[in-house]
C-alpha cells in the first residue's frame, strides 16, 4: 500500500469555517461528537439531516439532497453499527445497509465535485490474526473475524471506493480506521450494543435492582482498545486538514485491556459490588486488535481522555438520558 502522497507532519490546509460541511450520521455516536467539535471550532454551515429526513440508502433521495445542498466537505460517519451479537446474527443488514449508504454518499459526492471527504471504517477490517499492534499495511492480508465479516467487507469496499476515486479522479479523499468507540450518545441496547455501553447498562440495572450477580458474555479474556468519541472527532478534523494519502489512518489509544478488566472498571464507576459471571456460550470474537497509532501521532494527534474518565462521562450521560 502506498504512502507516497502523505502530507508531511505539521502541514495544514485549514478548512473554510463557512463552507457547508455534511456530517453524515449526525445523530450517531461519532456524528454527534463531530457536530460538537465542529460547532466549537466555528464551522457555521453544518449539514446533518436525520435518517428520517434523508435515508442514505435511498439513492435518488441522496442525489437530490446533494444537488440541493452542495456540501464542500463530507464526513461519512453514517453506518449500521452494533456489537458482536448484532453483527453475528444480522449479517445481511450489516452488509446491505452499509454498502448502500456508502456507495450512494460517495457517488453523490463525486458527482457534485466534493473536494474534501473523510470515510470512517473500523478496526474490524483487519485480519483476525493480524500482528498486534495492527499497522495500516495489514489491510487485506488475511482472513477476517467471522462474527463481523459482513460489516468488515462493506467497510473494506468503502475504503476501496475512496482509493479508486483518488486514483481515477485525483481527489484527496481519505479514510480513518477507528478502534472500538464509546461516549455520550452511544447505543445502550441490551442485546445489540457494544460491550462498554452494555456493561454500563447491566451494572446500573443490577445496582438499582440490588441484583446479587450479573452475567457478561464470552470468556472475558479477549482484549480491546477503547477510544472516546470526542478524541476521534479531533482526529477527524486533523486528518481532513493535514493528511493526504490513499492509506487509511488508524485512530486509537494504542493501549488495550481485557474485557474482564473493563468489566471491573465499569462496575467500579457505576458502583456495582455484586458478583460477575461469564457466559462462555456467547462468542468472544477476535482475541486482540490493538491498533498501531504511530501514523496519526506523527501528525500531531494524541488521545486525551483516560478510559476511567470517559466511562464516568458516558455513565453520567446515560443517567441523564434516563434510558
Positions touching ligand GFB (CB under 6 A) are 83-85, 87, 122, 124, 147-148, 151, 180, 193-195, 198, 216-218, 222, 224, 259, 282-285
Contact 117, 173 (CB under 8 A): yes
Residues 6+ positions from 170 with CB-CB distance below 8 Å: none
Q: What is the residue-wise DSSP string for 13-78? A: -PPPTTS-EEEETTTSHHHHHHHHHHHHTT---EE---TTT--TT-HHHHHHHHHHH--SEEEE--
Q: Is the peptide bond before 133 cis (omega within 30 degrees of 0)?
A: yes
DSSP 136: G
Between 105 and 120, CB nearer to ligand GFB = 120
Q: How far apart are CA 270 and CA 201, in angstroms?
A: 9
Between 258 and 297, CB nearer to ligand GFB = 258
- Active-site choice (126, 151, 272, 318): 151
Query: Closest residue to ligand GFB, Cβ-based?
Result: 83
Between 49 and 283, CB nearer to ligand GFB = 283
CB of 37 to ligand GFB, least distance (A): 21
Q: How far apart are CA 250 and CA 291, in angstroms?
A: 7
Cell numbers linked to 24: 453524515
Task: Respond yes or no: is residue 243 known to be catalytic.
Answer: no
Residues 6+ positions from 209 with CB-CB distance below 8 Å: none
CB of 99 to ligand GFB, least distance (A): 14
CB of 218 to ligand GFB, least distance (A): 3
Between 51 and 219, CB nearer to ligand GFB = 219
Between 128 and 166, CB nearer to ligand GFB = 128
The catalytic residues are 151
Amino acid at each position: 500500500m502506498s504512502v507516497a502522497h502523505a502530507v508531511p507532519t505539521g502541514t495544514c490546509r485549514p478548512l473554510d469555517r463557512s463552507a457547508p460541511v455534511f456530517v453524515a450520521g449526525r445523530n450517531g455516536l461519532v456524528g454527534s461528537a463531530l457536530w460538537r467539535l465542529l460547532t466549537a471550532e466555528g464551522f457555521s454551515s453544518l449539514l446533518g439531516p436525520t435518517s428520517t429526513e434523508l435515508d442514505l440508502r435511498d439513492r435518488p433521495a441522496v442525489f437530490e439532497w446533494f444537488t440541493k445542498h452542495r456540501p464542500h466537505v463530507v464526513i461519512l460517519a453514517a453506518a449500521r453499527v452494533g456489537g458482536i451479537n448484532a453483527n453475528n446474527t444480522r449479517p445481511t443488514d450489516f452488509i446491505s445497509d452499509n454498502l448502500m449508504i456508502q456507495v450512494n454518499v460517495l457517488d453523490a459526492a463525486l458527482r457534485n465535485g466534493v473536494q474534501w471527504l473523510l470515510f470512517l471504517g473500523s478496526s474490524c477490517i483487519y485480519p483476525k490474526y493480524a500482528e498486534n499492534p495492527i499497522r495500516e499495511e495489514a489491510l487485506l492480508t488475511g482472513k477476517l473475524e467471522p462474527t463481523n465479516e459482513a460489516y468488515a467487507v462493506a467497510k473494506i469496499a468503502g475504503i476501496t471506493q475512496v482509493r479508486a476515486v483518488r486514483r481515477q479522479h485525483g481527489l484527496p479523499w481519505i479514510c480513518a480506521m477507528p478502534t472500538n468507540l464509546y461516549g455520550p450518545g452511544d447505543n445502550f441496547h441490551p442485546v445489540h450494543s457494544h460491550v462498554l455501553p452494555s456493561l454500563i447498562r447491566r451494572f446500573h440495572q443490577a445496582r438499582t435492582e440490588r441484583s446479587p450477580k450479573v452475567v457478561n458474555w464470552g470468556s472475558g479474556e479477549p482484549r480491546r482498545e477503547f477510544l472516546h468519541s470526542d478524541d476521534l472527532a479531533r482526529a477527524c478534523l486533523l486528518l481532513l486538514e493535514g493528511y493526504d494519502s490513499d492509506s487509511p489512518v488508524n485512530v486509537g489509544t494504542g493501549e488495550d485491556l481485557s474485557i474482564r478488566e473493563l468489566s471491573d472498571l465499569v462496575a467500579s464507576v457505576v458502583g456495582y459490588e455484586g458478583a460477575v459471571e461469564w457466559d462462555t456460550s456467547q462468542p468472544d470474537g477476535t482475541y486482540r486488535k490493538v491498533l498501531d497509532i504511530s501514523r496519526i501521532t506523527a501528525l500531531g494527534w494524541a488521545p486525551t481522555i483516560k478510559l476511567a474518565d470517559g466511562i464516568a462521562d458516558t455513565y453520567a450521560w446515560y443517567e441523564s438520558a434516563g434510558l
